[in-house]
Amino acid sequence: MGVGSFALIFQILYALGATGLGLYGLHALWLTLCLHRPARFPLPAPSPGDLSAIDLPAVTVQLPIYNERHVVVRLLDACARFDYPPDRLQIQLLDDSTDQTTSLIQRHVEEWQRRGVNVALVHRDAREGYKAGALRDGLASATGEFIAIFDADFEPPADFLARTIPHFLGEGRAGIGFVQARWGHLNQNYSVLTNCQALALDGHFVVEQTARQAAGYPFGFNGSGGVWRRACIEDPAVGGWQADTLCEDLDLSYRAQLAGWQPLFLPDLVAPAEIPPQLLAFKRQQFRWAKGSVQTLKKLGSAVWRSGWSLPARLAGLFHLGNYLIHPLLLFLLLITPLLLLLGVDPFGPLAWLSLASVGPPLLYAVAQRRLSRRLWLRRWAYLPVLTLLGMGLCLNNTLAVWQAFANRPGPFLRTPKFRVEDRADSWRGSSYALALDPVVLGEALLALYALGSVWLAAAQGKWWSLPFLLLYAAGFGLMVGMGVGQSLRLRGRRRRQTARFRAADLVKTQGR
């Protein structure tokens, strides 16, 4: 096989990769355009003021926690203050903790019990099935007809149940399986990193979830800030909570819709949550979401394709489940670019088409922020360049997650640490939950050098139009390395100073004796 044949093969592979990225960009553009469609559920929203005229059903609020001593009290306090009849409200703290979280929350549970709140601590010694297992086991003692779920980092408003439960009730609503609220942010302005994550999450909820609902496409339960109809979870055709993926929420919601249950998204109801302030915590969260969504794609992809949904709905569902496949595509394009350059091929041709489709994500984020605030939208959207670099820099981290999913590599449910960081005066570095630097940073450093080498090669050959794309890779991986190492060094310094203070205090005590 000659050089020309190799060049042709690499050109075809590169064009396919660029086409894949272009399709994701066009999908984002399509969802943005779908926002103008009429709502999928034209039924008028029930008014919370009419609750006195409704025979409200029993609700169980499930709070799955694992080593969450910083935030669990805030979560329980918020749920205990729900504006809902106390005799129809049950709160379950589904606790798998192995640290002092259990003793801390036990005292707080007893205090709320003395105030007349029906709250119970359900502790498991074995973390079987992780979050899905905790939710499944909790149903055995749940008394509610509806199940509200909140992760540990949430602080739902007092009227959350009053604004969600009525959507399940009344004529024409018996088929609604779950209601999902929009996530808000308790610490959006804490740092550049949290602002970037807020921008991404707003794009998902304000545009993607709203557009999927308006177009009649399937969409997912986001794992927290929502309510399930218990009959939907326990429907034999649905199959209940299952722990064979790391995205048990996405898995269950798609199985429910495949079985005929309907979802409902409420973009005007906000459930605030804490955004990870540590880059390594954010990367761990992304890894779990990437691996879990691809596991769900493998598990349910064929069922989605064979379903009775319309062709656009089936395609939208597959794009949704395979959303994280964009990262292996991005990594592949970087790895193959210098090979093309060495073979004398200009990779800009496919990139030109990609640039046309790349307008989709920026427009999606702009529309999301414009809908949220006409006054602040431009200031918030200005974080898009940094978010773009984060997306490029996550290529390796999320590609490893996708590879583990396709290779059926088992792995534990690694929680995202929460620190109760709500304003800039708060710090997460003193917490034992803060994560140490992982070996992936070495691969990211090597990829940053690889991208810089590709930049030099493209410049040497006069392939100037390829430089911006390659520089994005270099900057993205450089950001991952710089921010990750920087945060880790400050964390080590903080812990070293704490250790020194503890030793000094012990020395003073010893001398005092």
- Binning pLDDT at 50, 70 and 90, where does residue 413 land? confident
Q: Where are the alpha helices (DSSP H) in 373-435?
A: 377-381, 384-393, 395-406
Of the given ranges (351-355, 368-372, 373-377, 491-495), which has the lowest mean pLDDT?
351-355
State yes or no: pLDDT of 331 exceeds 50. Answer: yes
**Could you read off the pLDDT of 363-379 as tens digits, one per residue?**
999 999 999 999 999 99
**76/35: higher pLDDT:** 76
State yes or no: pLDDT of 507 exceeds 50. Answer: no
- What is the rounded distance in angstroms from the CA atom of residue 109 to the CA atom of residue 467? 58
Q: Which two tokens stand for residue 363?
A: 């427009």
Q: Are residues 17 and 142 in the same domain?
A: no
Boundary of a domain, candidates 317, 334, 359? 317
Residue 42 lies in a domain: no
- Can you give the pLDDT at residue 462? 86
262-273 and 176-185 beta bridge pairing: parallel
The 10 Å Cβ neighbour count of residue 4 is 10
- Binning pLDDT at 50, 70 and 90, where does residue 484 land? very high
Q: Are residues 114 and 254 in the same domain?
A: yes
Residue 50 lies in a domain: no
Boundary of a domain, candidates 317, 349, 367? 317
- Can you give the pLDDT at residue 45? 61
State yes or no: pLDDT of 351 exceeds 80. Answer: no
The pLDDT > 90 percentage for the chain reads 73
Q: Catalogue the active-site residues.
A: 96, 249
Q: Which two tokens stand for residue 113?
A: 């019990």
Domain harbouring 148, CATH code: 3.90.550.10
**Could you read off the pLDDT of 258-275 as tens digits, one per residue?**
999 999 999 999 999 999
Residue 238 lies in a domain: yes
Of the given ranges (308-317, 424-433, 474-483), which has the lowest mean pLDDT?
424-433
Q: Which two tokens stand for residue 6?
A: 């190799």
Give the domain range for residue 282: 56-317
Mean pLDDT in the chain? 89
Q: Are residues 261 and 332 in the same domain?
A: no
Residue type, 511: Q
Average pLDDT over residues 328-352: 81
Of the given ranges (48-52, 165-169, 478-482), which has the lowest mean pLDDT?
48-52
State yes or no: pLDDT of 3 exceeds 90. Answer: no
**119/338: higher pLDDT:** 119
State yes or no: pLDDT of 386 exceeds 80. Answer: yes
Q: Are residues 207 and 298 in the same domain?
A: yes
- What is the rounded distance in angstroms from the CA atom of residue 324 to the CA atom of residue 308? 25
State yes or no: pLDDT of 510 exceeds 60. Answer: no
**412/90: higher pLDDT:** 90
Residue 229 lies in a domain: yes
Domain count, the chain: 2
Q: Are residues 342 and 473 in the same domain?
A: yes
Residue 48 lies in a domain: no
- What is the rounded distance in angstroms from the CA atom of residue 209 to the CA atom of residue 104? 37
Q: Are residues 441 and 408 in the same domain?
A: yes
Boundary of a domain, candidates 289, 317, 345? 317
Residue 141 lies in a domain: yes
Q: Are residues 341 and 196 in the same domain?
A: no
**347/487: higher pLDDT:** 487
- Binning pLDDT at 50, 70 and 90, where does residue 509 land? very low
Q: Are residues 13 and 159 in the same domain?
A: no
Q: Are residues 343 and 227 in the same domain?
A: no
- What is the rounded distance in angstroms from the CA atom of residue 76 to the CA atom of residue 408? 36
State yes or no: pLDDT of 52 exceeds 80. Answer: no
User: Would you give the distance in Å from CA 447 to the centre of its chain?
Assistant: 25
- Binning pLDDT at 50, 70 and 90, where does residue 339 land? confident
What is the DSSP secondary-structure string of 44-99? PPPPGGGGGGS-PPPEEEEEEESS-TTTHHHHHHHHHT-SS-GGGEEEEEEE---S
Of the given ranges (52-61, 94-103, 348-357, 389-398), which has the lowest mean pLDDT?
348-357
Longest alpha-carbon distance in the chain: 83
State yes or no: pLDDT of 511 exceeds 60. Answer: no
Of the given ranges (33-47, 357-371, 399-413, 440-454), which has the lowest mean pLDDT?
33-47
- Binning pLDDT at 50, 70 and 90, where does residue 425 land? confident
Q: Are residues 330 and 291 in the same domain?
A: no
Average pLDDT over residues 321-326: 95
**34/249: higher pLDDT:** 249
E strands, 113-208, are: 119-123, 146-149, 176-185
Give the helix/strand (H/E) hosting 453: helix 440-460
Average pLDDT over residues 392-414: 93
Q: Are residues 410 and 443 in the same domain?
A: yes
Residue 45 lies in a domain: no
- Binning pLDDT at 50, 70 and 90, where does residue 403 land? very high
Residue 258 lies in a domain: yes
Average pLDDT over residues 394-423: 92
Average pLDDT over residues 219-230: 97
Q: Are residues 313 and 328 in the same domain?
A: no
